[in-house]
Amino acid sequence: MLIRPESRISEMQLVKNVNKRSRGRYGFPDIFVIGLLGGKNNKLVENSNYNELKELDDKICEESEETIFKRQYYFWSKDDKKYKLTSVRKIIDLGEDQLKNYIKVIKKGQCAVNNNKIGVLDERINMELGNSILGGWLLVSLGSRHIITRKIEFKKMDHRFTIINK
């Protein structure tokens, strides 16, 4: 899907929780082949070799989405301060939830630094009352050649966005 450069913006800044001191804490999970290898072995893989990773990468490339979703993923949890096991399906579901939450925040409109309101806090974007739609795509790259996409439903909005060119 190609979107004209003047109609998109990378890394939009949002205020998601006004009770936090910062602008909110966001997680952007990366799915690494080594984590999939750890999930397969049900333990941390510290010293993998190139051929083992390449073999798994090639296998993932040929697998169906359903097979990939059932794969386990081993990762370090910053919150729990330990290694944990989860499924690729859960990671993707959490990614969809995160994107839906971002859309809810964007629908609230623009906010200022100290106005105790959630919304868009980005000087590159001007928002005004008007009609528009907003949706999103979740793109998940697994290994080097397998991409899974999920379309997030488009919603009507009471704001129009304009990207400010500087």
* pLDDT surpassing 90 at residue 126: no
* pLDDT surpassing 80 at residue 42: yes
Angle 100-102-104 from CA coordinates, rounded to 5°: 75
The rounded distance, in Å, linking the Cα atoms of 19 and 17 is 5
Q: Helix (H, G, I), strand (E, B), or coil: what is residue 108? A: coil
The rounded distance, in Å, linking the Cα atoms of 39 and 75 is 8
Q: What's the pLDDT band for 166 if we cut at 50, 70, 90? A: low
| Confidence at residue 98, expressed as pLDDT on a 0 to 100 scale | 87
| Confidence at residue 155, expressed as pLDDT on a 0 to 100 scale | 87
Q: What percent of the chain has pLDDT over 70?
A: 81
Instruction: Spell out a b/e string for 36-71, using b for 16 or more CB atoms within 10 Å of the CB, else e.
Output: bbbbeeeeebeeeeeeebeebbeebeeeeeeebbeb
The rounded distance, in Å, linking the Cα atoms of 84 and 44 is 9
Q: Where are the domains of the chain?
A: 29-163
* pLDDT surpassing 70 at residue 140: yes
